[in-house]
Structure 1
Amino acid sequence: MRISTSSFYEQNVTAMGLQQQKLFRVQQQLSAGTKFLSPADDPVGAARALGVSESLSLSSQYATSRQRAMLSLSREETALDSATTVLQNIKTLTVQAGNGTLSDADRQSLATTIQSNLDQLVGIANADDGNGQFLFAGYKSASAPFAAQAGGGIKYVGDQGQRLMQVDVARQMSTSDDGRSVFMSVQGGAGYVTTAGAANTGTGVFGSATVVDATAADFGKDFQIAFAGGNYTVTTGDTPPVVAASGAFTAGVPISFGGLQISIAGQPADGDSFDVTTAKNAGTDIFAAIGELVSALRTPVAGGGEAAQARLQNALSTANVKVTNAHDNVLTVISSVGSRMNELESLDSAGSARTLMDEGYLSEIRDLDPVAAIAEFYQRQTSLQATQMTFAKLNSIALFNYL
């Protein structure tokens, strides 16, 4: 079969063009460092690479979220550490105020110091993150969560919302705690709080209420101990009240009721009373408790006799228990913050390992083997050069060259 000169020429030109295209493709692969330049080169590989790339992108977003969550929790932890220091100072000053040798002036000085600590505690409760977002305001983070009232006292004006952040595929984490749960709450295991009646005129001073039988029928209820005619009567906070215990009063002899036991020194007057209340019903507002402590210390005792001294001791005891309960609550929140920070570190470690595996798999799918690619490049280059030289030689053959 004869092949015309033009057909021979066209076939060789087409073959060289294909070889040039293949050589150019290898050059592009070497330049990009990838096996496929478009999804059409390897549809299955491209689909796998896309899935792994999306996984890496999500992992990066979760890692960024974890960094932000860690920063927010670190700021909260710093504020709570400061709060525990202030509360510990107040507890120390409360114990110091119970020294019977102190004068009214000394207690006034202590009251001023405690008031300063109270102001500092309010400032901590209104701490922000440096960007105008208040740490303990819940969802209302644009405004300070605690506000001073015209008639005295501090009111919580935030809400109880928890700001959640997606820190992993199946994990949302709270990056804040609202001020009510931090500064106006107590733990479920907090003990009973005893408070002397505001109208007491006797010299009765209560001790701590201790639990002797948590399985007693009335355990967990609120109680009131009332005195009359040298006797005491303990009633529950039920409606109507139910008598839980009664008997002749003897100073220092424990009074038992509802699984509790309490001793009262001194001599209560007729009509005097003491409330023994669960911590959650005794008033959980730490700012109010400290304010009451300041007022008690500023009330003169000199000239009031043993009754005035008894009122002071009872007020100090009540304040000490409330501050202790608040301190324990803040410590519990700090523990929760620390647990969340530890979890974030664990999630970071797992995320880094997952990212490393995904990157290795993506490299296996997409990355070019440079040694094999360079070898192919030189092979195709040599083949193209040989084809070009052969075509040039054949194209120059003609009978006129031999005449």
Structure 2
Amino acid sequence: MRISTSSFYEQNVKAMGLQQQNLFRVQQQLSAGTKFLTAGDDPVGAARALGVSESLAESAQYATSRDRANLSLSREETALDSATNILQNIKTLTVQAGNGTLSDADRAALATTIQSNLDQLVGLANSDDGNGQFLFAGYKSASAPFVQQAGGGVQYIGDQGQRLMQVDVARQMSTGDDGRTVFQSVQGGAGYVTSGSAANTGSGVFGSVGIKDATDPDYGKDFQISFLGGNYTVTTNETPPVVAATGAYTEGSPISFGGLQIGITGTPVDGDSFNVTTAKNAGTDIFASIGALVTALKTPLTGGGAAAQASLQNALSTANVKVTNAHDNVLTVLSSVGSRMSELDSLNSSGASRDLLDKSYLSDIQDLDVTAAISEFYQRQTSLQATQMTFAKLNSIALFNYL
């Protein structure tokens, strides 16, 4: 079989061209460090690599979200930690104010100190994240959530929205707590708060509330203890009120009603009354409670007699319970913040482990074996050079060379 010169030439040039393409492809793989340069080189591998790359990009976004959530929670944690210190300081000052040896001036000085603590607490409640977004405002984070009123007191103008952030595939996390939940709420197990009527003129002073029987049908209701003719009557704060207990008042003897028990000392007069109310119905606004404490401490006792002294002691007892409830509530929220931050750490650890596996899998799919590729490169280069030399040698053969 004879092969024409043109066919011989074309076949050899085509073969060398194919070898050059293969050599160039290996060279590109070495340059890119990947097994396939286009999806057409390995459609299945390219699809798998794309899926893993998308998973890694999504994981990186979750990691960024976790960093932002952790930063926001860290700022809230700092504010709440300072708030607990202030409330603890107010509790200490409240106990100190109960010292019977203090003068009106001494109590006024304590009132000034407590007012300063109250102002600091309001400032903490209006903390922002450094970018003008207020931590405890809910969705209304562009405005300060707590506003001082002209007539005294503090009003919450935020809402109870929870700002959620997607921190993992199936986990949305609240990155803050609204001001009402933090500073104007109490825990469900806060118990009862006792307070004396502002119209009391006797010297009756209440003690702490004890629980005798939590299964009593009236337990959990609000009560009022009224005095008339040396007797007491306990009624529920319902409409219409229901009598829960009656009896002759004996100083120091416990009064039992609705599964509760309370002791009262001193001498209540006709018309005096005391409210024994669940914490959630007794007024949960810590700013209002501290404000009432300041007012009580600023009220002079000089010339007021036993009734004024009793009124002060009752006001201090009520404030102490309310501040304690508020302190416990802030501690509970602080604990929740810590739990969320701990969860973020766990999610970061699991996310890092997942990323490591994904990167290893992606490397197996697309990363080039450099040693094998270099070996292949030299083999193809040697083969091409041999083909070129052979073609040049054969191309120069002619019959005239043998005449």
Q: TM-score range by the shorter chain?
A: over 0.9
TM-score by length of 1: 0.99
Q: Does residue 263 in structure 1 map to residue 263 in structure 2?
A: yes
Q: CA deviation at 1:399?
A: 2.1
Q: List alignment gaps of at least 5 residues for structure 2.
A: none
Q: CA deviation at 1:402?
A: 3.0
Task: Specify the SS of the correspondent of 1:207.
Answer: strand
Q: Does residue 241 in structure 1 map to residue 245 in structure 2?
A: no
Corresponding position of 2:96: 96
Corresponding position of 2:105: 105
Corresponding position of 1:340: 340
Corresponding position of 2:182: 182
Q: Please give the alpha-carbon distance, in whole angstroms, between the structure 1 residues aligned to 2:298 and 2:141.
A: 36
What RMSD over aligned residues (CA atoms) do the two structures have, in Å?
0.6
Residue identity matched to 2:103: S
Q: Please give the alpha-carbon distance, in whole angstroms, between the structure 2 residues aligned to 1:274 and 1:348.
A: 54
Q: Please give the alpha-carbon distance, in whole angstroms, between the structure 1 residues aligned to 2:217 and 2:399.
A: 126
Corresponding position of 2:29: 29
Task: Specify the SS of the correspondent of 1:209.
Answer: strand
Q: CA deviation at 1:400?
A: 2.4
1:37-48 aligned within 5 A: 37-48=37-48
Corresponding position of 2:284: 284
Corresponding position of 2:397: 397
Q: CA deviation at 1:54?
A: 0.5
Q: Please give the alpha-carbon distance, in whole angstroms, between the structure 1 residues aligned to 2:120 and 2:160.
A: 23
Q: After superposition, what is the alpha-carbon deviation per residue over 1:143-178, rounded to whole angstroms, capped at 9, x for unaligned?
A: 000001122110000000000000000000000000
Q: Please give the alpha-carbon distance, in whole angstroms, between the structure 2 residues aligned to 1:350 and 1:214.
A: 45
Q: After superposition, what is the alpha-carbon deviation per residue over 1:319-340, rounded to whole angstroms, capped at 9, x for unaligned?
A: 0000000000000000110111
Q: Please give the alpha-carbon distance, in whole angstroms, between the structure 2 residues aligned to 1:211 and 1:80.
A: 31
Q: After superposition, what is the alpha-carbon deviation per residue over 1:109-147, rounded to whole angstroms, capped at 9, x for unaligned?
A: 000000000000000000000000000000000000000
Residue identity matched to 1:55: S
Corresponding position of 1:318: 318
Corresponding position of 2:388: 388
TM-score by length of 2: 0.99
Q: List alignment gaps of at least 5 residues for structure 1.
A: none
Q: Please give the alpha-carbon distance, in whole angstroms, between the structure 1 residues aligned to 2:342 and 2:327.
A: 23
Q: After superposition, what is the alpha-carbon deviation per residue over 1:176-201, rounded to whole angstroms, capped at 9, x for unaligned?
A: 00000000000000010001011000
Task: Specify the SS of the correspondent of 1:263.
Answer: strand
- How many residue pairs align between the two structures? 403
Q: Does residue 377 in structure 1 map to residue 391 in structure 2?
A: no
Q: CA deviation at 1:210?
A: 1.2
Corresponding position of 1:206: 206
1:221-232 aligned within 5 A: 221-232=221-232
Report the identity percentage: 82
Corresponding position of 1:76: 76
Residue identity matched to 1:357: L
Corresponding position of 1:67: 67
Q: Please give the alpha-carbon distance, in whole angstroms, between the structure 2 residues aligned to 1:338 and 1:309.
A: 43
Q: Please give the alpha-carbon distance, in whole angstroms, between the structure 2 residues aligned to 1:260 and 1:328.
A: 22
